[in-house]
């Protein structure tokens, strides 16, 4: 990848096709965008991905192409303390910055991510390193919803782990999008804490 920062304008992102007239996210169109990406990566479109269990979200921020994700939970077992999912990101798409904290008897979730296709930059709250590899979404910068500025480039076949339990973190896909497998301890929605107060769902 070039040492120059990738700009949002160079990615030619457009939110309009993904929203209905009432302003809600068109989940089926969003899913189709991921399926189109799967075909380019020769990633199988399993039957289970075509149903309601494939997750698609814009985090309630109405900026899907910049801040959003798709995903599928393969396993999430509290008794065994094990979690595995797939993360789907369109070109330049960012997962809203968040942390996993203690929630009742559930300890802060630890995670590691292995890129299968495309590439991602992971960001954590370790010591910042500059320059940034990709321009952050304006919707996040303007709300000061990004605090993690230590980045690592992760290419296909490579794996990187969260720097510590409870760390603020997020990832952004490269110009071709990305598919990454997550290995982790049990996931509890109640333990999620987002930097952006506008995040819902």
CB distance 83 to 186 below 8 Å: yes
Does residue 80 lie in a domain region?
A: yes
Does residue 199 lie in a domain region?
A: no
Q: Which residue range forms the structural domain that includes residue 64?
A: 24-194
Concatenated DSSP letters for 78-103?
Answer: TTTTEEEEEEEE-TT-BPPPEEE--B
Does residue 12 lie in a domain region?
A: no
Write the CATH number for 123.
2.60.120.10
Does the bond joining 100 to the residue before it have cis omega, within 30 degrees of 0? no
Closest CA to 163 of 173, 149, 181: 149
* Total domain count, the chain: 1
Does residue 13 lie in a domain region?
A: no
Q: How far is CA 57 from CA 18, 93, 102, 136, 163, in A?
A: 11, 11, 24, 18, 25
pTM summary value: 0.96
Structure tokens at 114: 């292995």
CB distance 33 to 90 below 8 Å: yes
Does residue 8 lie in a domain region?
A: no
- Res 3: pLDDT: 60
Structure tokens at 191: 């333990």
Structure tokens at 152: 């690592």
- Res 201: pLDDT: 67
Does residue 36 lie in a domain region?
A: yes
Phi, psi of 3 (to 5 degrees): -75, -15
- In tens digits, the chain (201 residues) has pLDDT values of 546 799 999 999 999 999 999 999 999 999 999 999 999 999 999 999 999 999 999 999 999 999 999 999 999 999 999 999 999 999 999 999 999 999 999 999 999 999 999 999 999 999 999 899 999 999 898 778 999 999 999 999 999 999 999 999 999 999 999 999 999 999 999 999 999 999 986
């Amino acid at each position: 990848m070039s040492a120059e920062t990738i700009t949002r304008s160079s990615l030619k992102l457009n939110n309009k096709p993904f929203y209905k007239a009432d302003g809600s996210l068109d989940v089926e169109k969003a899913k189709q965008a991921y399926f189109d990406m799967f075909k380019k990566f020769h990633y199988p479109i399993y039957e289970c991905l075509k149903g309601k269990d494939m997750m698609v979200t814009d985090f309630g921020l109405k900026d899907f192409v910049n801040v959003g994700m798709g995903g599928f939970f393969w396993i999430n077992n509290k008794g065994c303390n094990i979690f595995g999912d797939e993360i789907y990101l369109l070109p330049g798409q960012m997962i809203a910055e968040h942390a996993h904290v203690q929630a009742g008897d559930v300890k802060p979730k630890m995670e590691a991510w292995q890129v299968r296709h495309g590439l991602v930059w992971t960001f954590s709250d370790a010591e910042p390193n500059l320059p940034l590899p990709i321009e952050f979404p304006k919707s996040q910068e303007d709300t000061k919803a990004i605090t993690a500025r230590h980045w690592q480039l992760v290419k296909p076949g490579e794996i990187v782990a969260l720097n510590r339990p409870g760390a603020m973190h997020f990832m952004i896909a490269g110009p071709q999008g990305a598919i990454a497998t997550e290995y982790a301890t049990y996931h509890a929605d109640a333990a999620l804490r987002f930097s952006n107060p506008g995040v819902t769902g």
